[in-house]
Amino acid sequence: MRTLLVTGAAQGIGLATATLFAGRGWKVYGLDIQAESLFAASLQGGFEPLACDLADPKSIERAAASLTHLDALVNNAATHANGDPLTLSVEEWKRVLDVNLTAPFLLSRAVAPLLMQSGGSIVNIASTRALMSEPHTEAYSASKGGLLSLTHAMAMSLAPVRVNAVSPGWIEHAAPESLHGFDHTFHPSGRVGGVSDVAEMVWYLTGDNAEFITAQNFVIDGGVTKKMIYPE
């Protein structure tokens, strides 16, 4: 049986990914710091919960050491500290980088021997924030930009383990009924994205049909980052 480890599995893209893989016959470990939410999500999604604080290197080591086989790792967990860069604290900056960038590096290298044995792969969940920005998103954008660079660097260092990234755009996690018509028509695809759109791309990238794909970034944003916009 193929085995997946996905971080940030208590909600959103992580939960959707864990649930999709479990429903298609994989053994899935869902990792998250939110222990109670993770346990509830695991009951819903059919995967095994694994509590871990990704800001703590020792917690990452313990989580990785509990695994004996692995076919795919999805580094999805992320946090943010949006605020004026003139007043953003060093502590806030460091936690975002620790969770969003350092943790994927540490977890990937910790499980790399298992992935080499299985011929497995890694998928990093980045963001279109690595490519475009709004004000006051410096820490998050920097972490996701770094994650894209980490993706192609580790694809070279860990080969033949394949390492790819997915960069979601506007993904509605919880309340699609709150969206308006313009929210959808703004996207060239005709709608706002859903968590299943990202989960399905992860499914493809970890599968046998993607065995020639590595070191790449796949933007899942309904075409928005390619849309030229002028002020009215």
DSSP-derived pairing of the beta strands 193-194 and 217-220:
unpaired
**Candidate from 48-62, 107-121, 182-196 with smallest mean pLDDT:** 182-196
Q: What are phi and psi of 223, to 5 degrees?
A: 90, 0
* CATH 3.40.50.720 is the classification of domain 3-226: yes
Distances (CA, A) of 67 to 20, 28, 39: 21, 11, 18
Report whether pLDDT(54) > 90: yes
Q: Locate the domains of the chain by residue range.
A: 3-226
Average pLDDT over residues 59-79: 98
Average pLDDT over residues 78-82: 96
pLDDT tens digits for 97-127? 999 999 999 999 999 999 999 999 999 999 9
Output 224 or 182, whichever has higher pLDDT.
224
DSSP-derived pairing of the beta strands 171-172 and 217-220:
unpaired
pLDDT tens digits for 136-183? 999 999 999 999 999 999 999 999 999 999 999 878 876 666 777 767
Q: Which amino acid is at 28?
A: V
Q: Catalytic: which of 29, 140, 204, 230?
A: 140
Could you please report the per-residue DSSP string of 132-191? ---TT-HHHHHHHHHHHHHHHHHHHHSTTSEEEEEEE-SEE-S-GGG--HHHHHTSTTSS
Average pLDDT over residues 177-197: 78
User: What pLDDT, on a 0 to 100 scale, did the predictor assign at position 187?
Assistant: 80
User: What pLDDT, on a 0 to 100 scale, did the predictor assign at position 175?
Assistant: 63
- Quote the DSSP letter at residue 83: S
Report whether pLDDT(229) > 90: no
Does residue 204 carry a catalytic annotation?
A: no
Helix (H, G, I), strand (E, B) or coil at 194: strand
DSSP-derived pairing of the beta strands 217-220 and 162-168:
parallel
DSSP-derived pairing of the beta strands 48-51 and 27-32:
parallel
How far apart, in whole angstroms, are the C-alpha atoms of residue 72 and residue 7? 12
